[in-house]
Chains A and B, each alone.
Chain A
Amino acid sequence: MVLVTEIKKNLYKDSIQLMRISQSIKSLGGVVEAAVIMATETNISYLLDLGLYDENKIQADNNDIIIAVKAENRDIAEEALRHAEDELLGRVKAFDSGKKLTGGYPEVNTFQEALRIAPEADLVFISVPGKHAALVTKRALEAGRNVMLFSDNVPLEDEVELKREAQKRGLLVMGPDCGTAIIDGKGYGFANKVRKGTIGIAGASGTGIQELSVLIDRFGGGISHALGTGSRDLRREVGGISMLRCVDLLEKDDSTEVIIVISKPPDPIVEDLIIQRINRCQKPVVINILGGDILKLQKNCRNTAATLEEAAYLAIKLSGIKTAGEEEGKNEKIKNLLADLKLQLSLLGPEQKYLRGLFTGGTLAYEAQLILKNGTEDSLFSNIPLPGIKPVKDLRRSEGHTILDLGDDLLTQGRPHPIIDPEIRHRFIRKESGDPSVAVIMLDLILGYGSNKTAVDDLSRLIKSLKGEKRKSPVFLVHVCGTERDAQNLSASEKLLVDAGAVVCESNALMAMLALKIINWIG
Chain B
Amino acid sequence: MILKNQNSVINIGVSLFAEEMFNQGLKVVHVNWKPPAEGDSKVADILKRLAYGTKGGKQ
Residues of A within 8 A of B18 (CB): 105
A449 within 8 A of B: yes
Q: Are A127 and B17 in contact, with the CB atoms below 8 A?
A: yes
**17 A-B pairs, CB-CB below 8 angstroms?**
A114-B12, A114-B30, A118-B29, A121-B29, A125-B11, A125-B12, A127-B14, A131-B44, A131-B57, A134-B57, A136-B33, A140-B10, A155-B57, A183-B2, A188-B9, A250-B2, A253-B2
C-alpha gap A122/B8 in the complex (Å): 7
Contact with B along A392-436 (1 / 0, CB 8 A): 000000000000000000000000000010000000000000000
CB of B8, distance to nearest CB on chain A (Å): 4
CB neighbors of A among B1-29 (8 A): 1-6, 8-29
Q: A105-B18, A186-B21, A449-B20 are in contact. Are A124 and B10 (CB under 8 A)?
A: yes
Interface residues on B, range: 35 or more
Main SS of chain B's interface residues? mixed
Among B13, B25, B34, B48, contact of A135 (Cβ-Cβ < 8 Å):
B48
Residues of B within 8 A of A249 (CB): 2
Residues of B within 8 A of A (CB): 1-6, 8-36, 38-41, 44, 48, 51-52, 54, 57-59
Among A123, A135, A153, A449, contact of B3 (Cβ-Cβ < 8 Å):
A123
Residues of A within 8 A of B2 (CB): 172, 183-184, 225, 227, 249-250, 253
A51 within 8 A of B: no
Q: Are A111 and B17 in contact, with the CB atoms below 8 A?
A: no
Among A17, A109, A115, A125, contact of B17 (Cβ-Cβ < 8 Å):
A125
C-alpha gap A107/B32 in the complex (Å): 7
C-alpha gap A134/B54 in the complex (Å): 11
Counting chain A CB atoms within 10 Å of each CB, the highest count among B10, B33, B34, B38 belongs to: B10
Q: Are A17 and B15 in contact, with the CB atoms below 8 A?
A: yes
Counting chain B CB atoms within 10 Å of each CB, the highest count among A11, A128, A157 belongs to: A128
Q: Are A121 and B30 in contact, with the CB atoms below 8 A?
A: no
Residues of A within 8 A of B39 (CB): 10-12, 63
Q: A109-B32, A450-B16 are in contact. Are A114 and B40 (CB under 8 A)?
A: no
A388 within 8 A of B: no
Counting chain B CB atoms within 10 Å of each CB, the highest count among A16, A106, A117, A131 belongs to: A131
Main SS of chain A's interface residues? mixed
C-alpha gap A187/B8 in the complex (Å): 13
Residues of B within 8 A of A117 (CB): 29
Q: A107-B32, A184-B2 are in contact. Are A16 and B8 (CB under 8 A)?
A: no
Closest to A420 in B: B16
Counting chain A CB atoms within 10 Å of each CB, the highest count among B22, B27, B33 belongs to: B33
Closest to B4 in A: A122
Closest to B37 in A: A10
A130 within 8 A of B: yes
Residues of A within 8 A of B23 (CB): 102
A161 within 8 A of B: yes
Residues of B within 8 A of A138 (CB): 52
Contact with B along A56-68 (1 / 0, CB 8 A): 0000000100000
C-alpha gap A392/B3 in the complex (Å): 42
